A and B are shown apart, each in its own frame.
Chain A
Amino acid sequence: MIKTVDLKKTFTGRGQTVYAVDGVTANVEPGEVVVIIGPSGSGKSTFLRCLNGLETLTSGHIVIDGVDLADRKTDLNKVRREVGMVFQQFNLFPHKKVIENIVLAQMTVRKRDRAEAEEKARMLLEKVGIAEKEQEYPSRLSGGQQQRVAIARALAMDPKIMLFDEPTSSLDPEMVGEVLDVMKDLAREGMTMVVVTHEMGFAREVADRVLFMDQGKLVEEGTPEHFFTEPREERTKLFLKQVL
């Protein structure tokens, strides 16, 4: 479903070159839930953002569903339709009501008519458990509710892959659960998911595979059992000791 080959992303500023992602080769099978963990600044968010072209890659390849993002002829907008993304800061459109947030891209990108788009939006709001908020503006919702709307908005495009960039990191602790529950439901339904998170409980329970990144490199990968009980690398052991 997703394959990256020697993916590199560098940022240059003030004469310095920073390797945010430094030669990551990984792949994600259809229906798989992959959780990426690692210390802050390890390049895991940048890696995730490369996967739907929000960051242009410096070198290497990303192949999504058979389409190479490194190819200049690739229409990124087409790829992005199939890859949903949920952000740490929700990024709901504040000037539009909840339902409009979900309807807009369906109409402009997928060319659905309003009735169809609204029906889909209501169905998804029901699914994420906030059907009653459809006429509210995002600013009236709690963080957890906003994040669930954001998930519904991404799902409305019928993506084949969902990317989550620290979806619970800016939530109050009591709201983390409601968002994780929605994500668990999605995983159970067989959605292909790549999740950057600090929620070790989620990784252990839901992930099919865990990738550990540090300093832009993929340090270790494996099943959650392997990863949390018998990690091979020193760096992984140290990280797990700090967070668990």
Chain B
Amino acid sequence: MNSLSKQLWPWRILTVVILFLIAASLWAATKRIDYTWRWNRVPQYFAYNAETFEKIPFDGRVLIINRLGDTTSVELESESGEKLTLVVETPSLRVSEGEELFADDSIGSNSEWKAGPLTMGMLMTLWLSAVASFFGLIIGLVTGLCRVSKNPTLRSLSIFYVELIRGTPLLVQIFIFYFFLGTVLDIGRIVAGISALAIFAGAYVAEIIRAGIQSVPKGQTEAARSLGMSATQNMVHIVLPQALKRVLPPLAGQFISLIKDSSLVSVIAITDLTKSGREVITSTFATFEIWFTVALLYLLLTSVLSQLIAWVERRLAVSD
């Protein structure tokens, strides 16, 4: 063990050196094109401190100012005797007691942390992928079962669906869902986007499920049937649990793909991570930084998912 890990050391060093060289050449390449890196502009698009001004809605005067530490409450009175109390942050207070004010004069401000477009975009991508994965899994499961069914109609229909979806580009499917189905069925862009993704993923999941079901040895079904179980009981208790365990790795790959493919829905103006990135670029011109950041965020989502699946796999491996 010890001597083995010693043997591995030179190779590890070589790996690090190669990665370092790649990074260095990238850095040198950007030097040549004279690009000014402004990484400091990126964080504010994750979260920013939004300031909202508290304004007096009428002409009037300040009655009482009551300091409560960090915040201050200001009691206002209009010319007609109407009273109003506003709370602002103490350092931002701009008025004093007895001061006459006109309508829309600001008396101070409140600030709060808000999620920036990149965070919102990431949440949107996460939500789209999660919902599409869920429905994709259900569609795939049903289609996969139809695919191995004895009924010729179910079998042909599922083959037709799988071939249709796998044979056309996702981008085109998204356009069809949005422009054609969206118009005909009067559905919104989010629903159209999620449906397109779910139906796309479903076709691939169906093939994975089919392969999984067929990989369970025939003897399992024979044993179940010989005990008097019905075909459905056999599928639910014996075949599917084993099939799902076997197909977990390719299924994980499919859902990781789905997270990445969800970037395509930005073409129908869904503000996912990719579209947020594009929007941020229009206001910052920090093209390189933002695309690198967006890529990193996708990587973060996909690697969290693959870790999660690896954990489930380890849990299921106890019966091996």
Enumerate chain B residues within 8 angstroms of A97, measured Cβ to Cβ.
319
B227–A157 CB distance below 8 A? yes
B226–A84 CB distance below 8 A? yes
Q: Choose from B222, B228, B241 the contact partner of A81 (Cβ within 8 Å).
A: B228
B227–A109 CB distance below 8 A? yes
User: Is A236 interfacial (CB 8 A cutoff)?
Assistant: no
Q: Which residue of B lies closest to A97 (CB)?
A: B319
What is the interface residue range for chain B against chain A? 20 to 34
Enumerate chain B residues within 8 angstroms of A28, measured Cβ to Cβ.
none
Q: Choose from A77, A81, A83, A87 the contact partner of B223 (Cβ within 8 Å).
A: A87
B237–A104 CB distance below 8 A? yes
Q: Choose from A77, A89, A91 the contact partner of B230 (Cβ within 8 Å).
A: A77
Enumerate chain B residues within 8 angstroms of A138, measured Cβ to Cβ.
319
User: Is B44 interfacial (CB 8 A cutoff)?
Assistant: no
A95–B227 CB distance below 8 A? no
A80–B225 CB distance below 8 A? yes
B223–A91 CB distance below 8 A? yes
B230–A94 CB distance below 8 A? no
B319–A109 CB distance below 8 A? no
* Given known contacts A104-B237, A108-B237, A95 and B226 CB-to-CB distance under 8 angstroms: no
Q: Which residue of A lies closest to B231 (CB)?
A: A77
Enumerate chain A residues within 8 angstroms of B71, measured Cβ to Cβ.
none
B contact patch SS: helix
A209 to B237, CA, bound (A): 38
User: Is B320 interfacial (CB 8 A cutoff)?
Assistant: yes
A92 to B226, CA, bound (A): 12
Which of chain A's residues 60-108 have a Cβ closer than 8 Å to chain B? 77-78, 80-81, 83-85, 87, 89, 91-97, 104-105, 108
Q: Which 8 residue pairs spanning A and B have beta carbons closest together?
A: A81-B228, A91-B223, A105-B227, A85-B226, A91-B219, A137-B319, A109-B228, A80-B228
Given contact pairs A95-B319, A105-B229, a sample of 8 additional A-B residue pairs in the complex whose CB atoms are under 8 Å apart? A81-B227, A87-B226, A92-B223, A93-B220, A93-B242, A104-B237, A108-B229, A108-B237
Tell me the A residues contacting B by CB distance below 8 Å: 52-54, 77-78, 80-81, 83-85, 87, 89, 91-97, 104-105, 108-110, 137-139, 150, 153-154, 157
A-B contact pairs, 14 of them (CB 8 A): A87-B222, A91-B219, A91-B222, A91-B223, A92-B223, A93-B238, A95-B242, A96-B319, A104-B237, A105-B228, A138-B319, A139-B320, A150-B223, A157-B227
